[in-house]
Amino acid sequence: MCPTTEFRADLHCHSTCSDGTFTPEELLREAQAKGLKGLSITDHDTVAAYETAIPLAREMGIELLTGVEFSTTVKEQSVHVLAYGFDVQHEELHAFCQRHKERREERNIRMLESLKKGGITIEVCELAQDTHAIGRPHIAKALIDKGYAKDLREVFTEFIGGNSPYFVKTSSFGLEETLALIRSVGGKAVLAHPHLINNQGLVDYLLQQAFDGMEVFYARMPPHKERPWVKRAQKRGWIQTGGSDFHGTVKPHISLGCSWTGIDSFNALKQGSEISC
Ligand code: AMP
Ligand code: ZN
Ligand code: FE
Ligand code: FE
């Protein structure tokens, strides 16, 4: 990324608290190295990163916006919802994240049982135990480490991808419940990477829901692909956000800050947040 004095904030990245490979501290250092002025760490279904990230960001002079990427199930399909600018201390938020953790643990056990029936033994204790949102990427890593598969692609095609023999379907919480939770903890709800949803009926439905914003700039998406989403956001008066969806070394082609959010959208998301970091 070219050095710039412009305010840029990457509002979508994952730490070791979920399935990223950078710790929250490493993410903040990387953000500084890339010249980003703002950051939101949006781990899957957990806000654990903020315990260390808040004091450190303050020390480093990086504007940190609280964030999380919630998994939801809409019309039996997985839809990701980003939440920003909420009170990270709120009890209701922690209770909701705890429910997600239990939901994931239960699904992981079922997936390991499914693998065991196929003669593949992975124990729960072999999955990243210091992580707050253990999911398929961690099972994938264990399968590769134990020599069952050579890379992620093979894991997701042969073992635990949606159409693979050991996949176990899980239902997350609904959109209505998730949006209500985000509102009650003072946050704003943003529809994540809508261009990745390959069901037009579902997209049409989502565009009618009560989001505050939409992630229209994403990873290395070319500008001509962004444009229709920018128009859809403008039409609805939604905040337009951008982020890289950086996961560290597991997705080496994506660098932190390759998509970003400008000052106006950043401030709109921050507005009214009870704790601004
Ligand atoms: P989970 O939420 O536990 O079902 O895991 C979903 C995560 O697995 C996604 O957020 C991706 O990071 C990862 N994932 C899903 N499909 C693939 C794939 N084909 N290749 C690599 N990673 C994948
Ligand atoms: Zn992820
Ligand atoms: Fe996502
Ligand atoms: Fe993500």
Q: What's the mean pLDDT in 222-244?
A: 97
DSSP character string of the chain: ----SS--EE--B--TTTT-SS-HHHHHHHHHHTT-SEE----BT--TTHHHHHHHHHHHT-EE--EEEEEEEETTEEEEEEEES--TT-HHHHHHHHHHHHHHHHHHHHHHHHHHHTT----GGGS-TT-SS--HHHHHHHHHHTTS-SSHHHIIIIISSTTSTT------B-HHHHHHHHHHTT-EEEE--GGG---HHHHHHHTTS--SEEEEEETT--HHHHHHHHHHHHHHTPEEEEE--B-GGGSTT--TTSS-B-HHHHHHHHTT-S---
Identify the residues whose C-beta falls under 6 Å from ligand 1.
19, 71, 135-137, 152, 156, 161
User: What average pLDDT does the chain have?
Assistant: 95
* CA nearest ligand 1 atom 14, residue: 137
Tens of pLDDT, residue by residue over 29-63, are: 999 999 999 999 999 999 999 999 999 999 999 99
In this predicted structure, what is the pLDDT of residue 2?
53
In this predicted structure, what is the pLDDT of residue 130?
78
| Alpha carbon of 2 to ligand 3 centroid (Å) | 26
Q: What's the mean pLDDT in 76-101?
A: 97
In this predicted structure, what is the pLDDT of residue 277?
45
Question: Given ligand 1 and candidates 16, 19, 138, which is best to mutate, with the most ligand atoms within 8 Å of its CB?
Answer: 19
Decide if pLDDT at 108 tops 80: yes
